[in-house]
């Protein structure tokens, strides 16, 4: 019986560029501590969402348990997640996928 190692194809320069340009998203998660008005205020003041958009995102967090609030380069999303933590909100960064929440495409936010 022979044991062979799997053949690993090295990543091409183009594949490396595509991976580096992958979009990420900031996801805010529901928590039992922060009020709905506070979360709306955070979304409005930090992301620059209009009040109706901030309220809609807050309601998505409240009813679905999570909402995508920003999309972009990983480093920018890390800044947004850190800011959300500073406001006392639960937030994570996730790679963008085809199933990601399309509502973050609104042009009403500053990010």
Q: Cβ distance 71 to 23 under 8 Å?
A: yes
Residue 4 lies in a domain: no
Q: What is the pLDDT of residues 16-71, one digit of tens each?
A: 666 667 899 999 999 999 999 999 999 999 999 999 999 999 999 999 999 999 99
Residue 9 lies in a domain: no
- pTM of the prediction? 0.73
- Please work out, in degrees rounded to the nearest 5, the angle formed at the alpha carbon of residue 8 by the alpha carbons of 5 and 14: 175
Place 74 in a pLDDT band, splitting at 50, 70 and 90.
very high
Residue 86 lies in a domain: yes
Q: Residue 80's domain is classified under what CATH number?
A: 3.30.1390.10
Residue 27 lies in a domain: yes
Residue 6 lies in a domain: no
Q: Cβ distance 96 to 43 under 8 Å?
A: no
Domain limits for position 93: 21-98
- Give the residue from 86, 90, 87, 80 showing the smallest Cα distance to 26: 80
Partners of 94 in the β-ladder:
25
CA distances from 36 to 26, 54, 102 (A): 19, 10, 22
Residue 109 lies in a domain: no
Q: How many domains does the chain have?
A: 1
Residue with tokens 């501590």: 33
Residue 69 lies in a domain: yes
- Give the residue from 17, 21, 27, 13 showing the smallest Cα distance to 75: 21
Q: Cβ distance 56 to 109 under 8 Å?
A: no
């Amino acid at each position: 019986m022979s044991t062979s190692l799997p053949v690993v194809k090295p990543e091409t320069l183009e594949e490396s560029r595509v991976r580096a340009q992958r979009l990420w998203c900031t996801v805010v998660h529901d928590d039992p501590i922060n009020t709905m008005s506070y979360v709306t205020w955070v979304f409005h003041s930090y992301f620059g969402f209009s009040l109706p958009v901030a309220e809609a995102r807050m309601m998505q967090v409240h009813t679905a348990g999570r909402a995508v609030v920003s999309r972009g380069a990983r480093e920018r999303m890390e800044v947004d997640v850190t800011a959300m933590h500073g406001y006392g909100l639960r937030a994570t960064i996730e790679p963008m996928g085809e199933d990601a929440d399309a509502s973050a495409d609104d042009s009403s936010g500053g990010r």
